[in-house]
């Protein structure tokens, strides 16, 4: 049975949190809250512990993990060399939802990097994550705390829904603020390449370090000619039980009309339908189970709810989710990246 402990991020009970740190130090795995999503943590320098993460998640072993730290001093011992642009980004954007891929040092076990010569490093901003990493006094390897392929988890309950009985403990500190996984930037190449969009946007990165390249597979279909540079991005991802269809149009009215048309068709065919709407369109879908992702004018609200909403539709037994597209710009790029993968590239343009 998985133990759940609640920690108030505004008033951290160190004695209680120490229990989680001890589990990490003993080579077991613990789900930890971060500002992006919940992570499934293990001592990054203990390969046996790290193996347990892959087993609990059912994660393919060729998909490398992110190493989480609480102090900048740690970067030196984990990496081979630190590019100048990485220094700028760490200065300005750490702690936060930004992961940097750098050359790895020899202390990083091969199981973490899936044999690559690079390592992904992130300093989370969440006070509970940072305090826990400090107490454990080891770098913490942590992928998202979901069963591989499912939507990532943004609450402790989601973690239990996926992993109850398979992990030692969940540290519950409420809902994750950002709601999507961190931005992953490869700084071993010039220009740096955005491997995964997230809460830190291309605009924020370019304002600090100049032009970056955007991996073409972020929105495009993966094919033998078009393979993603982040190994993990090639797998089926973020998939709820329900089938997901996205409707995209520059014209909001056309978009809504098409969603309604598809919803009616599916309902007629006897399928249970859910609609991902937005504040701007929520009142257009009466008669259907429509849940709002958030406000188009503040895409952060949509990012924060996306995974939770996909899971909620599953909980309600929905078979087909019809989702409105949002603008693929800044945080919207991260939202559409996750949504398109959840839909298995099923996007209807109108
Ligand atoms: O927000 C996050 O990043 C969360 C929280 C827990 O920190 N973690 C997370 O981990 O999303 P995960 O394992 O679900 O995603 C890590 C991504 C994968 O796409 C993986 O392929 C990529 O980072 N990655 C890790 N190491 C890499 C490396 N050395 N080179 C290229 N991509 C790498
Ligand atoms: Mg993941």
Binding site for L-threonine, residues?
36, 68, 122, 142, 182
pLDDT exceeds 80 at position 11: yes
pLDDT value at 90 more than 70: yes
Ligand 1, atom 19, lies closest to the CA of 232
Ligand 1 atom with the smallest distance to the CA of 233 is 19
> Between the CA of residue 281 and those of 161, 245, 278, 284, 291, what are the distances in Å?
31, 17, 5, 6, 10
Query: Quick one: average pLDDT of 18-43?
Result: 98
CA 66 / ligand 1 centre spacing (Å): 5
Quote the pLDDT of residue 286: 95
What is the ipTM score, two decimals?
0.99
What confidence tens digit (pLDDT) does each residue in 282-326 have?
A: 999 999 999 999 999 999 999 999 999 999 999 999 999 999 999
| Residue range 167-226, pLDDT digits in tens | 999 999 999 999 999 999 999 999 999 999 999 999 999 999 999 999 988 887 766 667
Inform me whether the pLDDT recorded for 235 exceeds 70: no
Whether ligand 1 lies within 6 angstroms of the CB of 144 is answered as: yes
> Which of 34, 40, 64, 303 to probe ligand 1 with, by most ligand atoms within 8 A of CB?
64
Distances (CA, A) of 217 to 185, 197, 221, 234: 14, 11, 6, 9
Pocket flag, ligand 1, residue 66 (CB < 6 Å) = yes
pLDDT for the residue numbered 43: 98
pLDDT surpassing 80 at residue 104: yes
CA 251 – ligand 2 centroid, Å: 33
Nearest ligand by distance to the CA of 233: 1
pTM of the model: 0.96
Binding-site residues from annotation: 36, 59, 63, 68, 118, 122, 142, 144, 152, 182, 196, 238
What is the whole-number distance in angstroms between the Cα of residue 80 and the centre of ligand 2?
Answer: 25
Per residue in 38-48, pLDDT (tens digit) is 999 999 999 99
Report the pLDDT value the prediction gives residue 216, as an integer from 0 to 100: 85
* Ligand whose nearest atom lies closest to the CA of 53: 1
Q: What is the mean pLDDT of residues 253-282?
A: 97
Query: Would the CB of 135 count as within 6 Å of ligand 1?
Result: no
């Amino acid at each position: 049975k998985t133990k759940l402990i609640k920690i108030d991020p505004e008033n951290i009970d160190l004695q209680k949190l120490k229990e989680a740190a001890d589990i990490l130090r003993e080579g077991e795995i613990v789900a930890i809250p971060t500002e992006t999503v919940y992570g499934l943590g293990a001592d990054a320098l203990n390969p046996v512990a790290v193996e347990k993460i892959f087993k609990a998640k059912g994660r393919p072993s060729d998909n490398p993990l992110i190493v989480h730290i609480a102090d900048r001093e740690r970067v030196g011992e984990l990496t081979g060399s630190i590019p100048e642009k990485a220094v700028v980004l760490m200065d300005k954007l750490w702690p936060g939802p930004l992961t940097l891929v750098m050359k790895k040092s020899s202390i990083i076990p091969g199981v973490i990097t899936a044999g690559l010569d690079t390592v992904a490093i992130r300093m989370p901003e969440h006070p509970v994550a940072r305090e826990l990493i400090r107490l454990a006094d080891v770098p913490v390897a942590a992928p998202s705390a979901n069963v591989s392929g499912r939507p990532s988890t943004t609450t402790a309950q989601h973690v239990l829904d996926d992993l109850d009985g398979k992990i030692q403990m969940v540290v519950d500190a409420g809902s994750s603020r950002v709601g999507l996984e961190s931005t992953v930037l490869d700084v071993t190449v010039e220009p740096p390449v955005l491997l995964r969009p997230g809460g830190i946007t291309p605009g924020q990165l370019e304002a600090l370090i100049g032009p970056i390249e955007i991996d073409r597979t972020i929105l495009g279909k993966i094919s033998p000619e078009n393979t993603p540079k982040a190994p993990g991005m090639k797998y089926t991802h973020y998939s709820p039980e329900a089938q997901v269809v996205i409707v995209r149009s520059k014209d909001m009215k056309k978009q809504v009309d098409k969603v309604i048309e598809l919803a009616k068709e599916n309902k007629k065919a006897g399928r249970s339908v859910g609609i991902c709407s937005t504040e701007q369109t929520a009142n257009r879908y009466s008669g259907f189970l429509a849940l709002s992702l958030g406000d188009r004018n503040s895409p952060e609200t949509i990012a924060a709810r996306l995974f939770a909403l996909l899971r909620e539709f599953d909980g309600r037994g929905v078979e087909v989710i019809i989702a409105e597209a949002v603008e693929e710009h800044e945080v919207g790029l991260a939202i559409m990246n996750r949504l398109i993968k959840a839909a298995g590239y099923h996007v209807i343009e109108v």
